């Protein structure tokens, strides 16, 4: 099942399409993060390395896997 959707951000419409392949890549990236760092919420909040690594994981998922598309307002 493919997940498609959109949201508004700073006046632009942002769209996405997440296929089964992308879902698997997202989960793999998250499991890699959890296995390297902490794997439950409270520990992630308390561990410096988890906090430092988290933005890079989210950026990788957004830029390399989901690849959001921006449709500028006309």
Q: Which residues of 1-39 are buried (b: 16+ CB within 10 A; e: fewer)?
A: eeeeeeeeeeeeeeeeebeeebeebbeebeeebeeebbe
Mean pLDDT computed over 51-71:
97
| pLDDT above 90 coverage of the chain, percent | 85
pTM of the entire predicted model: 0.86
Domain boundaries, given as residue ranges, for the chain: 3-71
Q: Would you state the pLDDT for residue 74?
A: 61
pLDDT, the chain, mean: 94
């Amino acid at each position: 099942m493919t997940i498609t959707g959109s949201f508004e951000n700073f006046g632009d419409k942002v769209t996405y399409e997440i296929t089964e392949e992308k879902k698997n890549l997202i989960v793999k990236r998250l499991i890699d993060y959890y296995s390297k760092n902490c794997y439950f919420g409270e520990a992630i909040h308390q561990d410096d390395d988890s906090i430092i690594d988290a933005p890079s994981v989210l950026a990788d998922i957004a830029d390399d896997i989901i690849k959001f598309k921006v449709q500028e307002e006309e």
